[in-house]
Structures are given as C-alpha cells and as structure tokens.
Structure 1
C-alpha cells in the first residue's frame, strides 16, 4: 500500500470511527408481497430497468427467475412474470447488458445443465431463454467483463472439473465460445479443475481489468497441488493476459479457497484482497499499490474469525463511515466492521441471529445505505425451508455519494470502470463489477460512505475505454448522480405528481419533474415536460440535458379505483357457549357500517349469525366476507328432589350431559360427577346445586384438491409446498399423497416466518395412500406444508420428495369458509404440491350450564317413628344393576313384608318372608326390572322403612 499518499489518513480514520453508528437491519419482506421465495446460492441485485433504482433478480427454488422492481423508497416492489432457467438449482448467476439495448441480460448455469442466457427484449419487459454453445460445464462463479475491451460484455464461467470457459461477445450481443483468449492452464500442469470464485478487478492498479480465480479441490490434500493454487492473470493492456506463476503478487495461495474479493480497506486508492478458505483461516491481504500483497489477517484481528463453511465474502461499507466492511455468508454468517485502522470487529445480534447462506447487495430502498437480499439455502445451492429475507439497513446520520455509470464507447453498464473519490477520508476507490464472490451479482451502482465529512474534493471516473472523466462540480453529499461516459453528469431526477397517486376513475393526475431539460420522453411516449394521466400503471420519464446527457427519472405508481375490501378479525373464538361473546374488528377505514347497524370499527357479538361490514373506500364502498358466529346451547340439567327420613341418605338425580354436583350456587366444592348423587345421612333439609356440561364435536371436513391430476413427472430436485391461511385453529388429521418410491418422508408445518412448528416422519408406500399427520394448526397467514429437503436427500438421494404434484385443473384457493384457505404453491397458481384432500378435524367445544338447586328434604314426622332395627339397615349396591343385598344390624325377628314401589308410591311387587332376629342379610333380584328410580319398602309389626333404590 502507499502509506504516504494521504497524510490525513490516520486522523480521518479516528474521526470517522468515533462517529460511526451501530449497523442494524430490519426484515422488510412485506415490501415484496405475500409470496415466499426460496433461493439457492445464486442471487442478483442490480438496476434491471434503467431507472436508477436497484432491483432484485432471484430464482425461486434455485431456477425460476423473477425480477422484483423497486418503485420508490420503502414502497412495495412490483414483480415480473417468471421464466424457468432450468429445472434444477443453478450454481452461478450474473447480469449485464450484452446487446447494449439498455436492459440487463441474465446468465445462469448449474451442474452440466447448460449455460443459459435470459435475454431482455427491447423494452425490458420479458426475457427470451437461450443456451450457449460450448462444452459441458459444472458451473461455479460467473462474471460478465469486457475481456477484450471492445465495448461489449463477454462472459467468464468457472468450471469445477476442468478449465474455466470464456465466451466472447460478437458485437451483436451473441456469446461465442473462445477457449484461446486466455491460457487458463495451471502451472505446473493439471486437469485445470477446482475453479470456484472469480473476480475481475484492477489488481495491480494499472488501469485495466485483471482476473483472479479462487481454487478449491475436494479430495486434494496438498496445498501445493496446482488445482488448489489460486490464479492471477494480469492484463497486459493489449488484449493478452499473463499468469503470475512466480507469486510476485503474493496471491498464489494453496488453501482450499472458495472466493476472493477486492476492496480498498484503508482509502489509499488501491484494492486489497479478502479470501474465504475452508481448511485454514480466511485471509485479508494488503496491496502495496502496485499489485503486491501482504497477509495482514492476524494484525487485522481476523485470524480464525470466520467460522463454519464460508461461501461468500464481499467488501461493502454498511455503516457509511467511509471504510469498507466485510460480509461473509455460508453455514455461518459474519459482518466484520472496519475500524478505520486496518482492523476489524465482529458485529453480533444481526439478522435475527439466523445465519445467511448467500446474498446479493445493493441499495434496495434508495436511501444511500447498502441493503442485503439474503438467501438461506443448504450448502451449497439446495433451497431450504427458510424463505429469503429482504434486510434493509436502518442507516444512521453518516453521508454517502453514489454514481450510476453509463458507457458510450465502453460497454453500456460500464463494467470494469474504476471510480476514485477524493476527500479528507483519503482516496476511496470502487469498481463496477458484474458477478462477484461465488455465483452472485451485486449492484453495479458505485457507492461511497462518507462518514461526517462536509465536502467532496473531486471524483475521477476511469472508463474501460481509457477515457477519464473528472468531476468537481455538483458533488453534493447524499445523492446519486448519473454519469455518462465523456463527462455528462445528471443529478438524480425525481418525478412528482400534483396530488395523490391513488385516484378514482375519471380523475387525472399531472406528473412532472422540477428542472428544465432539452428533451423529455415519458414511458407513455409523450415528449412534453408534464403529462396528465388517468390510467393505472408505472410512469417515468427519460430526460436529456442541453449537453445531450440522458437519464431516467424515478417511477411514479398510479393506482386507480383501489380495491379496499375490509377484513374482519375475530378476537376470540367465533364458536362459543351461550353467555360468551366474541369481538369482531374491521380493518382500518374512514367509516364502517355493520349489518347489525353498528358504525364502530369493532363490535361485540353474543348472538349467533352471519356478520359482515361495509366500509367506505376512496372511490367506492366495499363489503367484507361474512364471518359466521355460532353460539352453542348450555341447557341446565333436569333434576329430581328427594324426601327422606331422619338419619337417611338422600338420592338426588339430574339428566343432561355430564352432571357436576356442588355445595354452593357459585364456587364452593365439587362433590360428585354423575347423574345420581347420594348424600350422607341427613338430619336437616339440604340444598345442592347441579350443572350440566355439553360437549360439541363438529364433523370433520375436507379441503384441497381431492385427487392428483396431470403429469406424474416432477423435478426430483424441487421441494414444493402448499401455502395456506388458517382462520380458526384446527387439527390437520390426514392427507392423501401419491409416491413414486416407497420411503420415509419428513413432513413439516411452517409458520408465517418459515419456522418449523410441527413435524412428523411417516413411511409412504408407492402409489396412493392416506397418511396421518395430527398437526395442530394455529391461526396465521402464509403457513406452509412441505417436506424436509435434507431428509429427502438422506432417504431418497434427491432434494424433492418424489411425490406427485398436479399440473392440471389446479384452482386456488381451496377454502372452508372461516377455517382454512389453501392459497398457492412456491411456483404460483398452476401447481398443487403433494398433499391432497386435507381432512380437517375440529376441536371440541365444552359448554357448562348455570347451576340449578336440588333439594333433599328430611321427613321429621315419619322419621321419629322409625323402628329400631332401621338404624342398622343397609341396601347395596345402590345404584346397582338389580342384584340387591339387604343387610340388618339387629333385626327384631318375625314377619317381614318386602315391596317394590315406583316413584309415585304404586306397589309393583310384594314378598313375605320370615326373617331371623339379630344380624343377617337377604338377597333380592330386580335385574328384570326396568332401569330407573324406585322405593324399596320393608315393613314389620313395629314400623315401615323405605329406601330409595336406583337401577341402572
């Protein structure tokens, strides 16, 4: 490094370090819409439509390419329709404007599945897919770079199993295989394999692009094996390249290196190097300004700081303090903050403490801070069950400065351009790259964090063509400028509206930009300074200055007749027992009109019925879906009092559900559960209280596609899912599946945040079968039912579960009103994955009635004349089945008349018996008597005794 170039370096570093703020990120997936995305390793962030805003190009399940377009800061992204880049997860991805039509094209590749290009049409509204002609390739890192500096982007593709591939641009946007452009052979000779991460950068600071390849070769243990030695190819400036075989650079490293990145850690105007390694510590190397590197890993505090298996490592200034930080991802993720003195400190507590596996970087809310679009694939490129996350940088009060570069003689994206910004922080240097680290693409915007400085001295732009533009005017802090090769500089252009951008039919809004320009070309085709529009859509204008410089404005989104259907949320269960209630709450609106007549945002419901609300939207009234409220009866039990003699137990009865007996009308003690309650011997009247509990069990229902339809062939590397909303808790009892292969599968239920909340491993035979799940499903949106990809790999050898999915007659949503709604799959509305004919088991509802009094009356008049032998009398079992024992403690002896009476006192049967005096027993058979309550009467010359007898 050149330590003498900037004497203010040390003071500036300390100044910035003192003022730097803690970097934080917030999950803003809400800006991307409700659909979850599951990326592999390959992700891209760049401006895909030329409006100066970074967009997200991502491949769901690793191959289904869509673009999420940024519309305005912190506003919802607009997603494009998708295109299948293949049917398996891709390993590498980069983007750039191959045909110089103003819209980037996307290159991807996987394991010997062809190198594909999605070519953007002339309007950037769609892609045409083509496959390059060339040898089979196990694609790893990929880049676009103008290798022969003819003004057209070429492609470089790392190959795991042999020499990397170069494809030259023919000047019309077509890529042609060029194996002779650079001699990529290792020294000493080998099979030239192990090419993992590649980066094109001006390593030796001589003004042209050099190539560095990080090498890793599994199964090769020696660090001197050429397949493990990183390669540096220095650009000779005449279209030829020379490999550094003597290690003059210090970059011929024999570790198992996965990636390399170049960035200026100390603002001295040259690129230092960070390398992720798998077998030894990852390394930070310092550039002396001429391309000679010294390992400063230990001094920087980074020795053994990178843990796990790193597969991405990139320099970016995340806190805008003016010094590039290092972000690492893989099996573990780390953010190392640049302290401004060539040392780094690990930042903790980021990203909800979840490890990011891969990422792409850019300014995704146009606030001047670097954001992260994170993927959570399994190492290395198998999409996991964790959805991608848009992590927006919360920022601080540090300043920034940014450039959007547009080549004229150079390639349109200015890939390979180098920019140096001079200020009291030193000489900060950045490059435009297309494809970095391991198969990812970061923003092509030039971004400088500036800490707390007050002014920029100058900015130099070194174009690939050799043109150098010096900028000294208009360099205000906290802005993005568009710079066209040759010196055209246009500040960021913002399109405005005269009023609200949400209007009703028949209304119009005027769009304009504040400054005057020579020419205007709106996306509508209009060429006036202002336009008036009344149709829904995205609007922007390309302006041209008097100097002939052109740039596109920000996008204004016009919404016409917004659909504002209210949603009702039930606070509590909408099925409840009599005496209960549920609160129904409408979504926000200017006014509410319930079908009950209420005009408040929420209402309390105690009666059964169907309830809905009408709200006033901007342009119309909207009626919600109805929510059904069910009130379950809680009938009191039917009871029977009892009258007994003194010192005799009473038998009290009640019917209706499960009967509980208490000694108080409220609270008190639970005495007994059952229809018949026998008290102890009574000496006075007593009152007891009975309640009835009724259990309601709703019959099971079914939802979802009943049977498989369409092709049985699905990609074995795709792990599909069903996304659904749960409106009322239920148990997912069973589902039907169709299997190619008999094997165990692990079924996972995921919540809104992509976390597994229930799981079950089941053996699924080949063919059709119904499997028991028994998942308790909570209320929530965007839940997911899917299989565990890692278990699939272990048990089946494939990422997917090899279960059938429907490709025909799929008609989302599948709904049980107010209970569940199956909404979509990871691949949209035309695929139904794996789980057919869901059986929904509803939870029981238990309703308990009010307590009612039941009386036990003691007959003191008759009780005083009871015969003496009654004191030792017992009748059992009672209640019983009719086989009755009558036991005497001290019978008087002689005649005993035995009668069975009904509850009204009518005599049903009679028996005369001589019973011996003293202790004894007799046995009576009433098993043929119908169930019910009866009186058993025993009479002798000294008196009559009755006992209540219950037969069941």
Structure 2
C-alpha cells in the first residue's frame, strides 16, 4: 500500500488551491422554518430514495424529519411522536428493510428505537433497563451478524450495548465487550478500524467534572481493539497512544494525508484539542503543534468531525460548541482556520451530508447552549455549501451479507491525490449522526484509478475507473449502478383534474414506483413524493427521484404595512401584498400595493394557480382631527387685535406653512396693527392607546431566587412603548436598582425601587426605544450592597416557561439571560403607549384694521368711557364721565359690521351709567357703537 501511494503521488498532483469554503442559508426550504434543536441532530436517508434527509428534534424532543426532494426545492415534512429530551441520536436501517430508523435517548428516560414502517408511520421500542444517562450513541454491527447493534455512552457508569435480535428489536448485552473497570464520563464514541486490520474497533472519549488528576480512570479515553473474531481487548498498555487523560469530549477518525489510514482528532476542554497521526498500524503520534492547532480552539468544543468541504481531496475539520470553526487542510498535514463561512451566531452542534445532491458537503446547524440547553431565539440553520469547480465521487452502499447500509465498510479511492480513505459510520462525535453516503473530493483530478470497498462481511469489491461527479449505488458483491433521473413531462404543480407523466431517463429491466406501479412510466394525479426503484439487467437497483407533486397549491397572500397602521387624518399607510399573479383589493384596486388614508379592514384577493385566495383582513385606523372654531377681530389702526379659537389644544401660527408656534392659548393678542393681517390656527386631538400586558403572568415552580446570579429578560422592541409596571416576588425587603440595558449592556434607564417582602407591583415608567436584544435586569453591585447578594433576591420561575412572550408588532420577550427554562423576576409587564396627537389643518383668522373715519367726530366723553365686565357672559355696564347729556344710541355689531341690536338711553349732562344685556348673542367678538349728539365712540366687547 505504501509503495502504491508513492507511485500515485509521483504523478502530477492537480488540486484546486484557490477554492473557497462558503455557505448560504437555505432554511426557508424547511418546515417549520423556525426550529430549535438541542445537541442531537442526524442526517441520513430515511425513506430509501438515495437522498439525505434531516432528522431533528424540536426543543430536543419532538422528532421531525425533513425529506430531501429536488435540488433547490422545499423539503417534505413528517412529524413523529415526541421522544423526550434527547442528548444523543444516531440513524441507520436497523431491520434491513431499506428505510432509516433512529435511536435517541437522554437523562434516564429510556433508549428509544424509532423504526420507519413501509406505510409512512413509525414504531417505537423504549428500552428502559438498564437505566442510562445517554450521551454519544452509535449503530454498529458489533458481532458482525449482518444486523446493526446499538452502543450507548452512559454518563454515570459503564456504557451499554444493545444487540440486534435479527429483526430490528434490541436486547441488552453486557458481556459482548468486557468493560470491567470502565468508569463514568463516557461522552463521545466512534467505531472505526483504527489499526487497518479490517475489523471495527471502538474508541470512547472520557470527561469527568471534579477529577483533576489526568490518571483518574473516568478521565482516560479508552480504545477497545477488535481481535478479529469480534471479541475486544482494551488497550491498557497504551500501545496506540490514544489512552489520553485530558478532559476529552469527542474523537473522530479521518485520513488527513491520503496515506490510507485514519488519523485522530480529539476535542478537549482543559488542554488544547489534539490531532494525532496514524503510522498505518494503529500507533498514533501527537502532531497538534506541527499541524497548527495550538490555542486555535477557544471555549468548550463538543463536536469535531473530519469532512472535505471544498472537494480538494483533503479532509478538513469542523468544530462546534461554544465557538465554531472550520480548519482547512493545506495538504501537508497542516491546517488553517478559515474566515467564518457562517453567520455571527456560534454553532453548538450539527450534522453533515449532501442536502441538495450537488456533490458538496452541507451543514445542518443547531444553536443550543452548552451542553444541551435549547435556545428559544437562535433557530437552526440549513447551510448549503456554495461549492466550486472541484470534482467528487460518491457511493451509496447496499449490503447483502453485511447490514443493508454497509455501516462499518471501509472505502479507499486511488488517484493522483493518493489513497483517500473513508468509512461508513452511524453516530459520530457527540450525540450526532452524519450521512451514511460516502463522499470523496477530487480537486481537479480527471480520472480515478480505482475504488476498493471492504465490507464488514469480508467481501471486497473493486470499481475501476468510475465516472466522476456522481453518487453511484454499489451492491455488496460488485453490482454497481449509476444514478438515473426521473423526468416529468410537464409542470409538477397543477390543479385537480390535471396530471403529469413521470418517466425514467434510461431503460431498465424492472420498475417499482412508490405508488406500487411496475411500469416504465406513470401518470401522477395526486399530491405526494414520487420515486421509483429501478433494476438493471445485472440485478442492481437504484432509486430515481424523488419528485414532489403538488395539487391545488395553497397560495394565501400576506399583507404587511410599510409604516404604522395607526395614523392621523391627512396621512396614509401603504399596504403591500405578497407576490402573486394578480391582485384585487376590497378597495377595487388591482396593484400589489395600495395607499390607505381611511380607517377600515383591508384585504386582497390574489389569483392562485387553481383558485383565488384571500388574505386575512388587515386593520387600519385613521385618527380624525377637528377644525377649531375661530373668531376674527376688527380694530382701529394702531390697536392690538384679540383673536379667539375654541378646540381641544389650540395652536396659533403667523402663516400657513411656518413651523414656529406663536401661542398655545385659546386667545391670541396680536401686536398693534397698521394693516389687516391673517393668522392661522389649528386644533390637536390626543388619542390614548389602551394598555397591554406581556410576559409570564405569575411565578411558577420553585421559590429559589438563585441569589448568586443576577438574571434578567432579553427582548426586542419593534415599536416604542412605556414599561409602566411589572410584578415581582421578593424574598427580603429592600431597595433594588432596576435597569434597562441596550444590546451592548449600556444602561438606558434605571430606577431605584423599594420592594417589600412578598408580591408587589412596581412602577418603572421606562421609555423603551426600538431595538434588539434589550434587557431588563437589576444592578449586581447595588444588590450586593442592599440585599447582600449578587442576585436581587427576587423569585424566578423554573417551570411553565414558554418563551417567547409577545405583543405582535410591539415587543417580544425572547429568553431569559440564562436559558429558556427560567424566567427572571419581572412578571406581567404593563405596557403603555405614547399618545397619538393629531393636529388639524390650519384655519385662517383675520384681524381687520378699520379705515379711519372722517365723518363722525370722537366725543370728548369717549376718553372717560368704561365698559365692564369685558369679556362678559351677558350684561355689560357702561360708565361715562362728562357726558354732554341727551340721547345715547348703543348699537351692537358683529365683526362683519352687521347691526345685531340697538338700544337708546337718555341721561342728563355729567356722569352717566347704562346697562345692556348681550346674553342672547352667541360667543364672539362684537363692536359696541355709542352715538351721542357730539360724536360716536366704538369699543370692542367679548362675549364668552
């Protein structure tokens, strides 16, 4: 083998050195899009169609399968009965029926075997004894009888083996491997032929908190070597060099230098993670420093897996946990950390496989918190590899004497790149299961010399010069078949009464469709996932498809607003429909968007492929305004006018468009005027928005306050609001400083509140701005001084938490500062809103300056004229000093000069007094014109 490697490497090595590793978020292809996994994730072919599917656990419990369909198309979804909170999961075909099955388990809740049935349902075997705290898990044919057995790492004692009874059921087998003296702390396990003798060995990574001596047995990683007869011996003498006493979490085996053997990567928590090179006989040398890994991995890594992500022919390494990394294999046994190809969130766990059938390895990423705390805010992401122009070769194995998936098979590919070596494994690293599909990156290699497959049964198949850039299907014994395509003769999305013909691009001896048909082509009239198993003349089978046929697609439109849907009269909001072939709004408009300036419920009908669909009504509220009632004034030249307006909130302006306000009073007293002048007035109405409530209503669970921890709530604000009040439960009385922080931890607002023992409603009145990742908490230092602990001694909930809590379009409380399982301190938020103020249009009000009169002299007594009360609500009194005597005519005129009332008084010369009742006149400004024998005097009178 070594000689062959030298010959191969002496030829021209053609590797793409410039290929970049990058990914695109394609989570929109999954249902639901927002899914939250724990550590346990799997990728495998669940329905036997030759394509990788995603097996995931919603909130770590609800089993959800995403079936791959056509490249770039949405996955098909199946939701299965919950399996409790799983820490480990692996997937493979345990009953050799061609369908994928799943093992999942967690904290002493049983080891569950979920098996696929041919009718699309699932059956579960729950193995409850011996009780087990499940960690890493694997399917492997431990006794090589052609049926996959289960290996389960146990956190608190010896790991468990469950033997397959030859029908997909399992029985505990404690004697298959002598693990006497094997202790707790079993975390990551991997079955691999580490010494190249053709037999599967077992390696278990150990970690045990509180044990600081590297020689403590629960800390020492253990290798169990297969004796060739499927009995196993522990490598107590450490001949392998793998008996490591670090706090190790996982191990994985992969060929980093294309020399035909498996090297080892181990993630550690207390020292550097390690890369060890295999000498070909199972003796390992630590090359961590030389490979460039020292101090590269920060935080707590809990996953580490070999995969070739850029198809250059050399296996890279992906790490996840508190931080994620991809280390690119430079082809010389050194690695370089590449720039983050994902987003800023740290991937905690993952599963790997080709999820769009393009020959590149994709990543399904979970964003839980160490070690298995489900995130309520960071949903899983499907990261599709963007690929490059490098070649690949892949195999789907189909066992005959061996287990059907070929788990445990070792595959070597010979080319100018060397001897690339792969192995089929179900369950790797820590609690995850990657694709069973064999994948080789080939760089710019143009020809493969051969591919050698060593099956668990001992059968050896050799494929010479296979065609590249394909996933071929190899049946144990040498029968190989290339992939074939299913061809629709028309659209695969259509209406009832229509159909699509499905056929195969090549000719075969036999056909077996997922519908049960056995003809070369079929006509699909109903909705579903269609695929066909075809058989060639040599008896080899391969699956073509699937194609997802959709009948009468549901295309309900969604409406969203481009601005606030509550607005004042004179403004508007634009409503936009999701894209469709045509639109008909209930306003009669036929465009994708409409401008709305009135209150109402607005909906749109769109024409779907087969029928129209109506959007849910979208409510718009226009807040009206009321014009003020204004009273003009007429004055003599040089006098000040008194302009009066009535309304809710009056504002005066000097012109139609000026922003400057002259006065906010009902009455405007102008400066002395020489010419007629127009002023402008508005009226503002204030609308109060009803208060709303959000958050956990009451405390639930234990009464602990976790005094050593200062917790809080993390939330997003979509529309500014006032956090008026909240409920708290205090174990001791005292002052607390409540703080509103932004995403950087800066204090936006704070308030010191004296909180008595027991349940209290506290007033905060925090103005909360629009923003993401805001938090409501207490001041740790203030707590220490005032209540004697870092925490505020306020009760938190550890039961009944159901994040997120939200008021749509306003606020979403996403998670506590600790996790999804706890709710800290602040219950039943009372949310108030800033009032809407709607100002009316401006109304002109004119101050008229009278032209000077030359016909009527001003009498001498005008200087001593007194009118009171003024303003008046009815009667006015007139006092005249030095009256000339005789008749006095008193005429009341409005601002337009119309005479409304005339009375005549008679008095002797001297001081005179008169009274007149104006109570029948409406409120306003009037002129009182007094005419005697010696002249006319005018005075302004205001009636309220």
Superposition TM-score, scaled by structure 2 size? 0.81
Q: Flag the 1:694–1:556 CA change in 2: closer, same or farther, 3 A.
A: same
Task: Kindly state the Cα deviation for residue 204 of structure 1 after the two structures are TM-superposed.
Answer: 0.5
Q: Tell me which moved more, 206-215 or 849-858.
A: 849-858
Q: Does 1:314 align with 2:310?
A: no
Q: Does 1:909 align with 2:877?
A: yes
Which of 395, 398, 403 lines up with 1:411 in the alignment? 403
Q: Does 1:428 align with 2:417?
A: no
Aligned to 1:655: 646
Task: Kindly state the Cα deviation for residue 705 of structure 1 after the two structures are TM-superposed.
Answer: 13
Return the alpha-carbon distance in structure 2 between the equivalents of residues 572 and 410 of structure 1.
Answer: 63
Aligned to 2:867: 899
**2:202 match: secondary structure:** strand
CA contact (8 A) 1:568 1:627 kept: yes
Output the aligned Cα RMSD.
Answer: 5.0
Aligned to 1:96: 92
Return the alpha-carbon distance in structure 1 between the equivalents of residues 659 and 164 of structure 2.
Answer: 89
CA contact (8 A) 2:631 2:925 kept: no
Task: Kindly state the Cα deviation for residue 896 of structure 1 after the two structures are TM-superposed.
Answer: 5.9
Aligned to 2:246: 255
**2:40 match: secondary structure:** strand
**1:351 match: secondary structure:** coil
Which of 67, 70, 77 lines up with 1:69 in the alignment? 67
Return the alpha-carbon distance in structure 2 between the equivalents of residues 122 and 167 of structure 1.
Answer: 24
Superposition TM-score, scaled by structure 1 size? 0.80
CA contact (8 A) 2:871 2:943 kept: no
Q: Does 1:454 align with 2:446?
A: yes
Return the alpha-carbon distance in structure 1 between the equivalents of residues 344 and 519 of structure 2.
Answer: 51
Return the alpha-carbon distance in structure 1 between the equivalents of residues 90 and 831 of structure 2.
Answer: 45
Q: Tell me which moved more, 593-602 or 34-43.
A: 593-602
Q: Flag the 1:759–1:243 CA change in 2: closer, same or farther, 3 A.
A: farther
CA contact (8 A) 1:141 1:436 kept: yes
Aligned to 1:115: 111
Return the alpha-carbon distance in structure 2 between the equivalents of residues 707 and 801 of structure 1.
Answer: 9
**1:853 match: secondary structure:** strand
Return the alpha-carbon distance in structure 1 between the equivalents of residues 939 and 57 of structure 2.
Answer: 83
Task: Kindly state the Cα deviation for residue 11 of structure 1 after the two structures are TM-superposed.
Answer: 7.3
**1:572 match: secondary structure:** coil
Which of 48, 51, 54 lines up with 1:50 in the alignment? 48
1:77-156 correspondence to structure 2 within 5 Å? 77-86=75-84, 89-134=85-130, 136-156=131-151
1:603-642 correspondence to structure 2 within 5 Å? 603-642=594-633
Task: Kindly state the Cα deviation for residue 150 of structure 1 after the two structures are TM-superposed.
Answer: 1.0
**1:48 match: secondary structure:** coil
Return the alpha-carbon distance in structure 2 between the equivalents of residues 124 and 591 of structure 1.
Answer: 38
Deviations 1:276-307 (A, max 9, x none): 11111111111111111111111111111111
Aligned to 1:890: none
Return the alpha-carbon distance in structure 2 between the equivalents of residues 905 and 667 of structure 1.
Answer: 35
Task: Kindly state the Cα deviation for residue 167 of structure 1 after the two structures are TM-superposed.
Answer: 1.5
Return the alpha-carbon distance in structure 1 between the equivalents of residues 335 and 542 of structure 2.
Answer: 38
Aligned to 1:164: 159
CA contact (8 A) 2:396 2:437 kept: yes
Task: Kindly state the Cα deviation for residue 315 of structure 1 after the two structures are TM-superposed.
Answer: 0.4
Task: Kindly state the Cα deviation for residue 856 of structure 1 after the two structures are TM-superposed.
Answer: 2.4
Return the alpha-carbon distance in structure 2 between the equivalents of residues 785 and 224 of structure 1.
Answer: 46
Q: Flag the 1:490–1:595 CA change in 2: closer, same or farther, 3 A.
A: same
Return the alpha-carbon distance in structure 2 between the equivalents of residues 866 and 282 of structure 1.
Answer: 108
Return the alpha-carbon distance in structure 2 between the equivalents of residues 667 and 896 of structure 1.
Answer: 42
Which of 504, 527, 531 lines up with 2:518 in the alignment? 527
Return the alpha-carbon distance in structure 2 between the equivalents of residues 821 and 562 of structure 1.
Answer: 33
Deviations 1:872-895 (A, max 9, x none): xxxxxxxxxxxxxxxxxxxxxxx9
Task: Kindly state the Cα deviation for residue 255 of structure 1 after the two structures are TM-superposed.
Answer: 1.2
Return the alpha-carbon distance in structure 1 between the equivalents of residues 285 and 686 of structure 2.
Answer: 77
Q: Tell me which moved more, 438-447 or 676-685.
A: 676-685
Return the alpha-carbon distance in structure 1 between the equivalents of residues 507 and 236 of structure 2.
Answer: 56
**1:464 match: secondary structure:** coil
CA contact (8 A) 2:239 2:283 kept: yes
CA contact (8 A) 1:17 1:340 kept: no
**1:554 match: secondary structure:** strand
Return the alpha-carbon distance in structure 1 between the equivalents of residues 343 and 538 of structure 2.
Answer: 49
Aligned to 1:402: 394
Deviations 1:416-462 (A, max 9, x none): 00111111111111000011101111111101111111121111111
Q: Tell me which moved more, 432-441 or 591-600.
A: 591-600
Aligned to 2:501: 510
Return the alpha-carbon distance in structure 2 between the equivalents of residues 737 and 668 of structure 1.
Answer: 43
**1:856 match: secondary structure:** strand
1:338-417 correspondence to structure 2 within 5 Å? 338-385=329-376, 386-417=378-409
Deviations 1:589-647 (A, max 9, x none): 33333344433333334455444333322222333333344443333322112233444
CA contact (8 A) 2:872 2:943 kept: no
Return the alpha-carbon distance in structure 1 between the equivalents of residues 39 and 223 of structure 2.
Answer: 25
Return the alpha-carbon distance in structure 1 between the equivalents of residues 117 and 762 of structure 2.
Answer: 47
Aligned to 2:15: 16
Which of 173, 176, 181 lines up with 1:178 in the alignment? 173
Return the alpha-carbon distance in structure 2 between the equivalents of residues 307 and 703 of structure 1.
Answer: 38
Q: Does 1:441 align with 2:439?
A: no
Return the alpha-carbon distance in structure 2 between the equivalents of residues 103 and 75 of structure 1.
Answer: 22
Return the alpha-carbon distance in structure 1 between the equivalents of residues 326 and 235 of structure 2.
Answer: 31
Task: Kindly state the Cα deviation for residue 509 of structure 1 after the two structures are TM-superposed.
Answer: 1.3
**1:58 match: secondary structure:** strand
Deviations 1:921-941 (A, max 9, x none): xxxxxxxx99987899999x9
CA contact (8 A) 1:737 1:803 kept: no
Aligned to 1:272: 263
**2:288 match: secondary structure:** coil
Which of 193, 215, 231 lines up with 2:184 in the alignment? 193
Deviations 1:296-355 (A, max 9, x none): 111111111111111110000111111110000011111101111111111123221221
Q: Flag the 1:550–1:747 CA change in 2: closer, same or farther, 3 A.
A: farther
Q: Tell me which moved more, 619-628 or 51-60.
A: 619-628
CA contact (8 A) 2:727 2:829 kept: no
Aligned to 2:314: 323
Q: Flag the 1:750–1:472 CA change in 2: closer, same or farther, 3 A.
A: farther
Task: Kindly state the Cα deviation for residue 235 of structure 1 after the two structures are TM-superposed.
Answer: 0.8
Return the alpha-carbon distance in structure 1 between the equivalents of residues 304 and 872 of structure 2.
Answer: 93
Aligned to 1:6: 6
Return the alpha-carbon distance in structure 1 between the equivalents of residues 869 and 728 of structure 2.
Answer: 66
**2:644 match: secondary structure:** strand
Instruction: Count matched residues.
Output: 870
CA contact (8 A) 2:268 2:274 kept: yes
Return the alpha-carbon distance in structure 1 between the equivalents of residues 82 and 764 of structure 2.
Answer: 34
Q: Does 1:598 align with 2:589?
A: yes
CA contact (8 A) 1:133 1:176 kept: no
Task: Kindly state the Cα deviation for residue 766 of structure 1 after the two structures are TM-superposed.
Answer: 9.7
Q: Flag the 1:600–1:94 CA change in 2: closer, same or farther, 3 A.
A: same
Deviations 1:17-48 (A, max 9, x none): 52x41111111111113452211111111111
Q: Flag the 1:623–1:738 CA change in 2: closer, same or farther, 3 A.
A: farther
Aligned to 1:881: none
Q: Flag the 1:572–1:350 CA change in 2: closer, same or farther, 3 A.
A: same
CA contact (8 A) 1:898 1:936 kept: no
Q: Flag the 1:550–1:306 CA change in 2: closer, same or farther, 3 A.
A: same
Deviations 1:523-566 (A, max 9, x none): 11111111112111111111122222223222111111112233
Aligned to 2:478: 487
CA contact (8 A) 2:141 2:148 kept: yes
Which of 694, 701, 725 lines up with 2:685 in the alignment? 694
Which of 847, 863, 873 lines up with 1:856 in the alignment? 847
Return the alpha-carbon distance in structure 2 between the equivalents of residues 482 and 554 of structure 1.
Answer: 14
Task: Kindly state the Cα deviation for residue 659 of structure 1 after the two structures are TM-superposed.
Answer: 2.3
Q: Flag the 1:201–1:804 CA change in 2: closer, same or farther, 3 A.
A: closer
Which of 446, 456, 478 lines up with 1:464 in the alignment? 456
Q: Does 1:846 align with 2:837?
A: yes
